[in-house]
Structure 1
Amino acid sequence: MRAIEAEAVVRYTDAAGLPEALSGADVLFVYDFLSTAVPGAWHAADRLRWLHIASAGVDPVLFPGLRESDVVLTNSRGVFDDAIAEYVLGVILAFAKGFARSLDLQRESRWLHRESERVAGREVLVVGTGPIGRAIARLLRAAGLRVSGAGRRARTGDPDFGDVHSTAELTEHLPAADYVVAVAPLTEQTKGMFDAAAFAAMKPSARFVNVGRGELVVTSDLVAALAGGELAGAALDVFETEPLPADSPLWTMENVLVSPHMSGDFVGWRNTLVEVFRENFGRWVAGKPLHNVVDKQLGYVPSPEVRTR
């Protein structure tokens, strides 16, 4: 931030001091991307022109006051794409090769020969066709998996997904998938999209991976589906309530992999987030168009149209 301090008056604050720091500020950098402090301090935003959040998801700051204002909203799209894609490939391999079971047996000093699954040729449905979803699709295709997508608009010939189905018809396409990866942005339309009906549509051998937002899933329905054998397993990096409560049944289910909202957090990611803001700040000072401008009605940065057949 030293480069920015040379060009502007920078105020550092925690949630409690945000109203005072926000008064008279032109730019707000929300470094704590899980903070919910901005709506409560919004009354003090008397001259704010630009808000940047250090994450790809913008739901913590996308409240009515911001939506209705002229304040430009940008995010940190692009920072986490490849890391999250690697996480998704990793958990798919972990399921297919039974790594968790192998570790349990190792701790018991038990030599138990088993067969493992192939991932090549398996069907993956990636729900969310933004940059993270595309990075996932490219990496999984390189590993030999067959990938399709689900997004707002159905289309064919997509360079990364091939076929993209409409999320409005999601349950029609879930039965074909061996792995379902949730990476959609959290909007009014996507909240709770993975419910009892969605899980019932999946085949019992399918695995569910959530690297999007916890609120995409009705957790009680997921737990019931896993316990009832409607799903073979789940890898979950995000949850409706974070940290995941200690009494959640997800902790102890043998067919569930839990990670603490870290799928995109590679070594050095914090510095990269600051660098993204610093670069955009330079554009703002120079009067150039900002990168990663969020459509506040859609709730995400619209992707450029891709060529399709």
Structure 2
Amino acid sequence: MTRGKRTEKIVALIQESLKSFPDVQILPNYRIKNKSGRKREIDVLLITDINGFEIKIAIECKDYKSSIPVEKIEAFNSKCARIEGVSKKVFVSTNGYQADSIEAAKDFEIELFDLEDISTDEILKWLPVKQLKPNIKIQLPLNLIIDKDEIPEIPTDSKGNLIIHFENGSKPNSLIICLWNHIVVIQQDEIQAIMRLEFMKGKCRNNSNLSSIIPCKLNTPGAFVYDKYGSKVKLIAVEVKLVTWFDIIAPTISEAKKYHNSKGIKARTLSIDNGKNGKAEIIQTKDGIDFFHTNKGGLSEKLVVLGEYNPKTGKYHPKK
């Protein structure tokens, strides 16, 4: 693949990924002045404005027959260091990286990619504002607590769901649906608070090895199931484990505004749509940054720091 074709492919991927971000400039083979006034070429330069803050993302592309040596990483870092305002550095190779190159990239905070591994999701992650999308799954098998020493064989329906019945005559339902409605839906604020704390600890990420397990228990008074012989078995409670993680996604920015008077900009605001949970609002003034949450009913509340987690000590300290 020639350099031109390689750059064209990356630019096409970026354009497809960022088509909902009209303010992003995508500049291939762009020559930009460094701090000494000399022009240096960047294979692909992304420039965007996040509500008044200019963001520059420099992308270097190399098509070598062998893996990228460390001096190429060092040279790219040196070039970016002398260009004003580079916020993020991305290196793309068609044939991998040497071990020293990988270590150097970590030191220089350069993100490394193989050309075939770049996806629209990865490109969206290059933007500096992120959003966390919570994911919750019920882990099987469930632990049924019944009024017998041993759990008898209990058949499931055609879809593999365990059906529970109720003494009060309510309509029988899937046990999974009952668990979801009575644990995940009703206790979602408490569950997501635990998830956020786990996320700060470096867990609960969009990776199966970093997902977090939250044990829960649902008492089921008046509920029963039928065993394979048709006999009623009283169901006392169900113990369940929730597998939880956050996907890190590009935000849905619904609105960005600047407020100013004759003396200049007084405040900047950024509204991020959180779907059914409402929207988050970030307000920056000369006094600092405040965060607000507005629910679907239009009620807003200021978000405050409830505590801090120190990853070095592994301890959480509530704010007084």
**TM-score (ref. length: structure 2):** 0.25
Q: Which has the higher contact order (CA 8 A, sep 6+)?
A: 1
Larger Rg: 2
Q: Whose strand proportion is higher, 1 or 2?
A: 2
